C-alpha cells in the first residue's frame, strides 16, 4: 500500500474465485493477516462463471502479480486438474481450495477446509475418534471434511445425490485405511456428528439437506455454508436440541493455514 492508503504498483494479488462470490467472507480477514505479516498483498473476490473456468485460469496464470487463489464452490474439484501439482491431502480429497504460483512458475494446490473444520470441532470439545459421522455432500468441501475426520479415527457414512461420486470418495478413503460406507438416503440415524457439506442453505428457497425430524438431541450438527451464519438447517437442529457448529467456523479456523500457504507463493513470506 502507498502512504495514501491506496494500492500501489507493488501490490501482490490473490483472487477468491467462485460462482457466485457474493457470500464469501474470507477477503477482509485474509488481507488483514497478510498486511500484519508485512506483505503488500490483497485477496479480492472474482466471480468466475463455471463454464469459463479453464480459460479464466489460463488468463490469470499470465498476470504477473497474481500469486495465488482461494477457491470456493463450484470450482474446487475442477481446479485440481488445472494446477501443475497438488499436495498428498488434496490428491486424496480430489479437490483444492488453494492454489499458489511457485518460484519456478508452476502452480501448486492444497485444501485446508478439513483442517479448519477439525480445528473448530477441537475448540468445541468434540473428539471425532471412534465416533460416527454422517456427511451429506461428497464434493470439494465434503471430501475435505471426510478426509480429515477419517484420518482422525471417525467412522463415516457418506451420502450424495451423485451416488457414484460418494462411492468414489468412499473407495479412496478405504484405500487410505478409513472406516467408510455410503448411504442410499440422507438418513443420519445413529450418528454422533451430522455434517451438511452441500451448498443447500445459501438461499432461502433451498430445501433442507436432511429431514430435521431425523435429528436427535445427542447429535452435533455442523454446516459448511457460511452465509447466512445460522442456516435454516442449523435453526431446525437447535430446535431439536442439537449442539451446532456454524459454517463460518470452517473459515475462521483455517485462515492461518490459508494465509501461510498463499504467502509461500514466489517466496513472499
Q: List the chain domain ranges.
A: 12-111+254-267, 114-251
Identify the CATH class of 12-111+254-267: alpha beta
Query: What Å distances lie between residue 224 and 28, 120, 152, CA to CA?
Result: 19, 11, 19
Q: For residue 199, what pLDDT is reported?
A: 92
Q: For residue 25, what pLDDT is reported?
A: 87
pLDDT digits (tens, 9 = 90+) for 66-118: 999 999 989 999 999 999 999 999 999 999 999 999 999 999 999 999 999 99
For 156, the 3-state DSSP assignment is strand
269 is annotated as an active-site residue: no
pLDDT digits (tens, 9 = 90+) for 61-79: 999 999 999 999 899 999 9
pLDDT of residue 243 exceeding 90: yes
Its pTM stands at 0.85
Q: For residue 1, what pLDDT is reported?
A: 54
pLDDT digits (tens, 9 = 90+) for 44-64: 999 999 999 999 999 999 999
Task: Determine which one of 12, 76, 101, 165 is catalytic.
Answer: 76
Phi, psi of 203 (to 5 degrees): -115, 145
Cα 116 to Cα 256: distance, rounded to the nearest angstrom: 9
* Fold agreement between 12-111+254-267 and 114-251: yes
Cα 65 to Cα 13: distance, rounded to the nearest angstrom: 6
> Quick one: how many helices (H) and strands (E) in the chain?
10, 12
Q: Which of 130, 159, 122, 77 is nearest to 250 (CA)?
A: 122
Q: Which of 56, 76, 73, 66 is nearest to 100 (CA)?
A: 66
- Look up the CATH superfamily of 114-251: NAD(P)-binding Rossmann-like Domain (3.40.50.720)
The three cell numbers of residue 193 are 456428528
Could you tell me the pLDDT band of residue 4, with boundaries at 50, 70 and 90?
A: very low
pLDDT of residue 257 exceeding 70: yes
Amino acid at each position: 500500500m502507498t502512504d495514501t492508503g491506496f494500492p500501489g504498483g507493488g501490490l501482490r494479488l490473490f483472487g477468491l474465485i467462485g460462482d457466485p462470490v457474493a457470500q464469501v467472507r474470507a477477503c477482509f480477514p485474509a488481507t488483514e493477516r497478510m498486511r500484519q505479516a508485512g506483505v503488500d498483498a490483497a485477496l479480492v473476490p472474482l466471480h468466475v462463471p463455471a463454464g469459463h473456468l479453464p480459460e479464466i485460469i489460463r488468463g490469470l496464470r499470465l498476470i504477473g502479480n497474481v500469486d495465488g487463489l482461494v477457491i470456493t464452490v463450484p470450482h474446487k474439484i475442477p481446479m485440481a486438474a488445472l494446477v501443475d501439482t497438488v499436495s498428498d491431502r488434496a490428491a486424496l480429497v480430489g479437490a483444492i481450495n488453494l492454489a499458489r504460483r511457485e518460484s519456478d512458475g508452476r502452480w501448486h494446490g492444497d485444501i485446508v477446509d478439513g483442517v479448519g473444520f477439525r480445528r473448530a470441532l477441537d475448540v468445541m470439545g468434540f473428539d471425532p475418534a471412534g465416533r460416527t459421522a454422517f456427511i451429506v455432500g461428497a464434493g470439494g468441501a465434503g471430501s475435505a471434511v471426510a478426509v480429515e475426520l477419517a484420518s482422525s479415527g471417525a467412522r463415516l457414512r457418506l451420502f450424495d445425490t451423485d451416488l457414484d461420486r460418494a462411492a468414489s470418495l468412499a473407495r479412496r478413503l478405504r484405500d487410505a485405511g478409513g472406516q467408510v460406507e455410503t448411504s442410499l438416503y440422507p438418513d443420519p440415524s445413529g450418528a454422533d456428528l451430522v455434517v451438511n457439506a452441500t451448498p443447500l442453505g445459501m438461499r432461502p428457497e433451498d430445501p433442507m439437506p436432511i429431514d430435521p425430524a431425523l435429528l436427535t438431541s445427542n447429535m452435533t450438527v455442523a454446516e459448511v455454508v457460511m452465509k447466512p451464519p445460522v442456516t435454516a438447517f442449523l435453526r431446525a437442529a437447535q430446535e431439536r436440541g442439537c449442539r451446532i457448529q456454524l459454517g463460518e467456523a470452517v473459515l475462521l479456523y483455517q485462515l492461518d493455514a490459508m494465509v501461510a500457504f498463499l504467502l509461500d507463493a514466489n517466496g513472499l513470506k
